[in-house]
Amino acid sequence: MTDAALASGVRERARAVVVHPVTLWSAFVLVHLVLGLICLTHPSLPMGDVTIVYEFWMRRGVEAGQWVGIDTAWVYPLLAIVPMLLSAVFGWTFFASTWLTLALAVDAAAFAVLLHRGRPDRATSGVAWWWIAFLVAVGPIALGRIDVFATSVAIIGVLVIVGRPGLGGALLTIAAWIKVWPAALVAAAVIALRQRLVVVSAAAITTAVVLVVGVILGGGVSLFSFITEQTGRGLQIESVLAVPAMWAAWAGAGTSIYYDRGILTYQLQGPGTELAAALSTPLLVLAVGAIVVLGVVGAVRRVPEERMLPLLVLALTVALIAFNKVGSPQFAVWLAAPIVFGLVSARLAGGPSFHVPALLALATAALTQVVYPYWYGKLLGLDVVVLIALSARNVLYLVLFAWSIAALVVTIRNAIRSEPQLA
């Protein structure tokens, strides 16, 4: 046997090990265990929202009968209460560990669907490794917020929606009733898929079921309070729109950071901050409107679903982050859904290449972890290195948005050019 043949055989065996389901599952579970350990033990309390805020809400419901989203206004849609309440099944002492177990379970369900899409040629093993790398990059925030459940359900939804639009539409709607942002994925599917009426019907039926259950449990207007609870928020320090104000605060130009005890987050006050916060909504509406117009043009021009839907999903997701006056670190976790979907579509359905946004998302996740949880105290102290990391992260959000818009325009333009011309 020649040296070249031997080397080739070694590479082939190594590749077989790397893409083997046992290897993938082992890495996936190991990453979750390490992140869970960090969540439970790190002094910066990376899952403080879970152990302090979520647990308090559930204690008040169980012990005092006052349920958020039903009896009182709440910042989250109704189904967000489900994982929070399930985390209390084994008692308050084990609330955090039960939460992490549930997070692992829902992530594992999405991971299983992802690997199943690649059979029998294991075409999705590379996507699986990307997701594992993304979890490592984004850090403990991947498990320490309600977003983990919405994101995992959304990943399953986008992976099945082309082949089973009814199931996909229902799953994405369930995800939206946990955290609002997956509603954008429902909109993307309605625009891009030919079976859009199936998606609309599934979303409507799922929403009706959730509302009926909410009313039976005693809910009224509080069921919709998540829509209005965010309107009074100021400019959060980590948002994209806050970058100029954060540097102004660093320069001592009259802007400062304060803690809003009503919203439980750090915001900015000073010259221009109220204007920036006020501009966020119209900017978001303009961005989403532009994406919808592009999508409608693409649908009219019959751009193939597998080419347009991944780009719409990415563009809408990033728009909700980049033009939001809230810039919570867990928003980075949302990127997993559009990137996983885009990479799978590229490998299995001939969709556009997602190598560039996949790399940008990894960098965005890593910079997010630098800022939170490890150096968040330094950010509050306006440390210049952490400010640079935060600013770079926010610039990457804008780059991701620009890439998705440019890719959409190119895809639609190419479809128009390929149309047969009448003599």
391 versus 226: the higher-pLDDT residue is 391
Does the structure show a pLDDT above 60 at 421?
A: no
pLDDT given for residue 126 in this prediction: 93
Band of residue 120 on the pLDDT scale cut at 50, 70, 90: very low
Q: Give the pairing type, strands 256-260 and 235-236.
A: unpaired
Percent of the chain with pLDDT over 90: 84
**Residue 259, strand partner residues:** 266
* Residues 123-145 pLDDT 10s: 789 999 999 999 999 999 999 99
Q: Choose among 240, 165, 159, 174: nearest CA to 201.
A: 165
In a domain, 253, yes or no: yes
Does the structure show a pLDDT above 70 at 156?
A: yes
The residue-averaged pLDDT of 98-117 equals: 96
122 versus 314: the higher-pLDDT residue is 314
- Three-class SS string for the chain? CCHHHHHHHHHHHHHHHHCCHHHHHHHHHHHHHHHHHHHHHCCCCCCHHHHHHHHHHHHHHHHHCCCECCCECCCCCHHHHHHHHHCCCCCHHHHHHHHHHHHHHHHHHHHHHHHHHCCCCCCCHHHHHHHHHHHHHHHHHHCCCCHHHHHHHHHHHHHHCCCCHHHHHHHHHHHHCCCCCCHHHHHHHHHHCCCHHHHHHHHHHHHHHHHHHHHHCCCCHHHHHHHHCCCCCCEECCCHHHHHHHHHHHCCCCCEEEEECCCCEEEEECCCHHHHHHHHHHHHHHHHHHHHHHHHHHHHCCCCHHHHHHHHHHHHHHHHHHCCCCCCHHHHHHHHHHHHHHHHHHHHCCCCCCHHHHHHHHHHHHHHHHHHHHCHHHHHCCCHHHHHHHHHHHHHHHHHHHHHHHHHHHHHHHHHHCCCCCC
CA atoms within a 13 Å half-sphere pointing along the CA-CB vector of 230 = 17
Helix axes 305-322, 336-348, angle to 10 degrees: 160
The residue-averaged pLDDT of 45-51 equals: 93
Does the structure show a pLDDT above 70 at 4?
A: no
Percent of the chain with pLDDT over 70: 95
Residues near 189 by beta carbon (within 8 Å), at least 6 away in sequence: 161, 165, 168, 169, 172, 196, 199, 309
Range of the domain at 346: 3-417
How many structural domains does the chain have?
1
* Residues 212-258 pLDDT 10s: 999 999 999 999 999 887 777 889 999 999 999 999 999 999 899 99
Mean pLDDT value across the chain: 93
pLDDT given for residue 117 in this prediction: 75
The residue-averaged pLDDT of 317-331 equals: 95
pLDDT given for residue 230 in this prediction: 72
The residue-averaged pLDDT of 176-197 equals: 97
The residue-averaged pLDDT of 365-380 equals: 95
End-to-end alpha-carbon separation of the chain, Å?
62
220 versus 101: the higher-pLDDT residue is 101
In a domain, 423, yes or no: no
Q: Which of 6-10, 40-44, 52-56 has the lowest mean pLDDT?
A: 6-10
Q: How far apart are the C-alpha atoms of 148 and 138, rounded to whole Å?
A: 12
Burial per residue of 71-108, b for 16 or more beta-carbon CB atoms within 10 angstroms, e otherwise = beebbbbbbbbebbeebbeeeeeebbebbbebbbebbe
In a domain, 73, yes or no: yes
